[in-house]
Amino acid sequence: MANDPLVIAQPVGEPVTASPFAARPAAHWFVRRYHQAFLWLTVLGLLSLMMLEVGPGGLVRIRLFDVTLRGMCAWQFFTGFDCPLCGLTRCFVSMGNLNPVAAFRYNPVGVGLFVLVVAQIPYRSFQLKRISQGRGEFYHKSLIGVVWLMAAAFAVQWIVKIVQFFSA
């Protein structure tokens, strides 16, 4: 057996510790690009809010071109009452212009969603740093819980709006 050509001896040395993505370089590339895309879209989206303002009548305007954007909520058009996300654009624009009081008036839950969007910057940066160090993504069940909590808050807000609409 010692002369068997199929047995290959390996030199003894330091143990090799591989990245969790070492066996799947394509997965590593995809995960890194995913977090980079999220990071850049978040930054560009937040910067674009500075070019907008809420004008007279609650309509959003593009400052640079002096163009007023019309609201187009299909839900409101067909049903006559607000959808769960109505006011979210004006809320984000107000938050981007550092006016949280106005933002809260347009969509109270939107203020929390805006904070979650801003939190994507340090979160995605942290994930990219972990990946560049050869470590896996950070994941905790509470992160999904925050998303479900936000969805529930939008649902509760919407139910309150419907009750107010029909009781008025």
C-alpha span between 108 and 102 (Å, rounded): 10
C-alpha span between 20 and 108 (Å, rounded): 41
Token pair 């139910």 in the structure block, residue: 159
Assign 99 to helix, strand or coil: coil
All structural domains of the chain with their residue ranges: 25-167
More confident residue, 95 or 11: 95
**pLDDT digits over 104-115, tens only?**
999 999 999 999
**Whether pLDDT at 24 is above 60:** no
**pLDDT digits over 105-154, tens only?**
999 999 999 999 999 999 999 999 988 888 878 877 888 888 899 999 99
C-alpha span between 55 and 65 (Å, rounded): 13
More confident residue, 65 or 9: 65
Span between the terminal Cα atoms of the chain, in Å: 91
Residue 1 burial (CB count, 10 A): 5
DSSP, res 47: H
Q: Report CA 147 to chain centroid distance, whole Å.
A: 10
Calculate the average pLDDT of the chain. 83
Token pair 């654009």 in the structure block, residue: 89
